[in-house]
Amino acid sequence: MAKEVFMPKLSSTMEVGTLLQWLKEEGDSVEVGEPLFEIMTDKINIEVESYEDGVLLKKYNQVDDEVPVNAVIAYIGEENEEVPDEAPQGENQEDSGGDSDNDEEVTQVSTNKEETSEESDGKVRATPAARRVARENDLTLSSINGSGPKGRVHEKDVTTSLETKDGRLITPLAEKVAADNGLNLDEIQGTGSRGKITKSDVLGHVSSGTAESEEPERIKLKGLRKAVADKMLASARSIPHVTLTTDVDMTKVIEVRKALLPVIEEQTGYRLSYTEIIMKATAHVLGNHPTVNASLVDNEIVMNKSVNLGLAVAIDNGLIVPSVPAVQSQGLAELTVNSKTLGKKARNGKLTPDEMTGSTFTISNLGMYAIDGFTPIINPPETAILGVGRITEKAVVVDGSIEVKPMMVLSLSFDHRAIDGAPAAAFLTELKERLENPYGLLV
């Protein structure tokens, strides 16, 4: 009997997954454990393995489709085994990727009053997939003739309405922009599904110099970018942030790095950076200030025993924070290997869910840019985050004399519900002292 392949739920916040690529085609043999497709969740890109042996009989979704979790996206079974032409619906929900004629059966659980209300409100009967495609292409459902029961609009009805007279696919907005600029559609290469011409394709053609347009580019907030946006907004709204800053003389840290750089590089193959030294110092000081290494969960302050440092890594479409566990027990060589490895995996979208959870304190380092100080946003349920600025030479007063020193700004944002100003200031003061006298970290 054919087995369904579902869109997996890989995190507690995941609601949809974006299909990046199929690693198998219909008719291909599949073994248990073989990668079947790759998806982008709200946090990572990950290959999904097959749980069945057999033949990939049917694929219901295409590349770039956003598919709800637990939706059926394919079938695996015996060769030539019959499977539905359209994606079946999950129990008590609308379809999640196809536009099956069985949609009407699910809507029959609604009362007559609800159905009447739907029609009297002027709403068009349509499958979720049809609504998604229409929304993405700026189409009005009322202008599309539905082929389903009672005129219900299916995804294929919406797709058909996108076709131009010569059989090419183009969104209505793209067609309008092209017409406004007097463009020949034959000269425009579509990058959408099945070569569909989108608004961005037309604008790209316009910006190449073949025409002029004032139409701005619009990028949909989705995937990782949307997940980051939602999390930052929730943090800023719900957490009373307070930020403290201090200047740190990095003279001796520079000396330590210069001395250890060739040693650690020869031992590990990785170059020691200031980030690892700051991480080591932070973990050491957090051991003396457990309230700053705490988490706030369900109105309880959880005093974490281990120092697991989240390391913010910027990637093309957002920000991702892998967790380096038990930093307090690692030497600089081991810490360099672990942080560099996790950073590389983050940029390549290869982090596992376990490598992205469990951090108790986060460090956000913008020292590679011309940034002195900033206000970092807390990564809940953590209660504090450390912002690191660049190292730059500044004139400072030392024993009544003006000297030029390599200075760095540290910015500590903390959750004032869990941490008061005095203990936060005490932590930042000790961290400053430790970085200005870093040799104690080597003992």
Q: How many CA atoms lie within 13 A of 22 on its CB side?
A: 17
Sign of the Cα pseudo-torsion (160, 161, 166, 168, in order): negative
Beta strand ranges found along 41-193 (DSSP E): 45-49, 54-59, 66-68, 72-77
Q: How many CA atoms lie within 13 A of 247 on its CB side?
A: 11
Sign of the Cα pseudo-torsion (269, 272, 277, 279, in order): negative
Name the phi and psi angles at 71, rounded to 5. -80, 145
Beta-carbon contacts of residue 395 (< 8 Å; ≥ 6 apart): 402, 403, 404
Asked if residue 436 lies in contact with residue 252, where contact means CB atoms within 8 angstroms, the answer is yes
| Sequence letter at residue 434 | R
Beta-carbon contacts of residue 433 (< 8 Å; ≥ 6 apart): none
Catalytic residues: 416, 420
Query: Which value, in Å, is the radius of gyration of the alpha carbons in the chain?
Result: 28
CA distance 139 to 162: 9
Candidates 212, 174, 216; CA nearest to 192 is 174
CA distance 42 to 229: 11
Candidates 310, 368, 371; CA nearest to 343 is 310
State how beta strands 300-303 and 294-297 pair.
Answer: antiparallel
